[in-house]
Structure 1
């Protein structure tokens, strides 16, 4: 067993799909498949069951998974210790992120950066994507993790991942039993949504307007957990990224897919401006970001995985 095999194992267990796992680990799909088969041959046990739609860890795979994660974490810590001993990077790093991005675990990324470069002062701000873009443009933030593809201008953007938006509603709502809703089904419904400064709101507004689905946003909030609580209390329905529907706070809610044709997507990117581009601390953060196991969000869902017809939101992951 080697670290590369452990990285493949973890990626495949998290993503449950060869195409996405191969993309995240930077290897061809055939290379990933061959590596997993080689590991299974070495251990004398099947680690995954494979179907045309899904890949699931076996009991042996689940037993190996925590050891694989531990090996990768220890290897990362060892590399960080060497860098810390040989590179006395100092200065400051100003980072911003929208909440609950799903595709990237910003907290884990900053933890690893701090462990590797303890002399760098990290300043972090959480705000809506449009506000963060303005701060990057003004030079107040070096690196921002955002969920919008609009108003980027001359900023440098790297897409990290995307996933579909879904409808969440309480189980007693009349749309909860639908296998999939149409845009016309949303007309006249009461909605809970985020403030327009958060990226999901304009995505929802544009998608609904493009399909003539006039909706009433009765409750405007500034955090995801409040949004889910209001939906849970029957005060409205909401359009959210799939990873939000998988949160524990959404366990009682029902997830219903939106129309595939013209359906909105949650696109997460990392953005830098003139000050952050090429700055030593920002460059080091972006290098760590390229390390997929360190930056991949545990809740992230690949966009090409088709959801079940109707499922409770807590089962969406």
Structure 2
């Protein structure tokens, strides 16, 4: 089964889901492809993926989707940042900051979310895009290039020099959805989606602690 992801954090909901699935269905080989939501949907349409786990909710005329889990939103700050020792920050605290986002992965969604939350402010938010992987982006945060946004599961994989602080006035958690081609009625995919729903209901993984 070919699976599209934004990335995989050890101990997260998705990581635990795939681990559990491989334990229960060892005969199914899993192939992983990392990319943005746009990449994932394009590859689904080209039949290069069986399912993609993506940030956001999707209403696509040619694909099925299902909300799988959620995580609170946090801001990644350099450890010496003026806000880094707070227990929480508000969007107004971040308005004058420089945001770093990736071209790939969740970068497009992060960019749009920053624009949405800080719309109407002056000057407009400073957002710099980079063609780097998640680890490099967080290293840039540690070095003081700027700040970025993450799902709370990133707390499971800390980066030296970076502190993650909740955004206390963020009204919505980060939603992660499964998207798949509707003609795929195979048992392998059906079992994966069933297992994901069961794990979210029962709260049996570390990642599910962020799904409330």
**TM-score category by the smaller chain?**
0.7 to 0.9
Residue 223 of structure 1 is matched in structure 2 by 133
**Higher relative helix content:** 1
Equivalent position of 1:157 in the other structure:
65
For 2:206 and 2:87, how far apart are their aligned partners in 1?
Answer: 26
CA RMSD of aligned residues (A): 3.0
Which of the numbers 238, 243, 251 marks the counterpart of 2:153?
A: 243
Residues 170-189 of structure 1: pairs in structure 2 closer than 5 A: 170-189=78-97
TM-score, scaled to structure 1: 0.55
TM-score by length of 2: 0.78
SS at match of 1:270: strand
Does the Cα contact within 8 Å between 2:100 and 2:137 map onto a contact in 1?
yes
- What are the Cα deviations for residues 102-126 of structure 1, in whole angstroms up to 9, with x where unaligned? 33225414533551xx2x5543322
- Alignment of 1:190 with 2:98, yes or no, is yes
Larger gyration radius, structure 1 or structure 2: 1
What is the count of residue pairs matched by the alignment? 205
Q: Deviations over 1:117-170 (max 9, x none)?
A: x2x554332222221122223322112211121463342222121111111212
Q: Give the superposition deviation at 1:225.
A: 1.5
The CA distance in 2 between the partners of 1:147 and 1:240, in whole Å, is 11
What are the within-5 Å matches in structure 2 for residues 19-30 of structure 1? none
Instruction: Structure 1 unaligned segments of length 5 or more: list them.
Output: 1-92, 305-317
The answer as to 2:144 corresponding to 1:234 is yes
Other structure's SS at 2:178 match: strand
TM-aligned CA deviation for residue 240 of structure 1 = 0.9
Is the alpha carbon distance of 1:270 and 1:295 closer, same or farther for their aligned partners in structure 2, counting shifts above 3 Å? farther
* Residue correspondence of structure 1 range 108-147 to structure 2 within 5 A: 108-109=19-20, 111-112=22-23, 115=26, 118=27, 120-147=28-55
Q: Secondary structure in 2 aligned to 1:140? A: coil
Conservation of the 8 A alpha-carbon contact between 1:160 and 1:269: yes
The answer for the alignment partner of 1:289 in structure 2 is 196
Q: Do 1:146 and 1:270's aligned partners in 2 also have CA atoms closer than 8 Å?
A: yes
Contact 1:167 1:238 in 2 (8 A): yes
CA distance in structure 2 between the partners assigned to 1:203 and 1:96 by the alignment: 18
More RCO (CA 8 Å, sep 6+) = 2
Unaligned runs of 5+ in 2: none
1:200-279 correspondence to structure 2 within 5 Å: 201-212=108-119, 214-250=124-160, 252-260=161-169, 262-276=170-184, 278-279=185-186
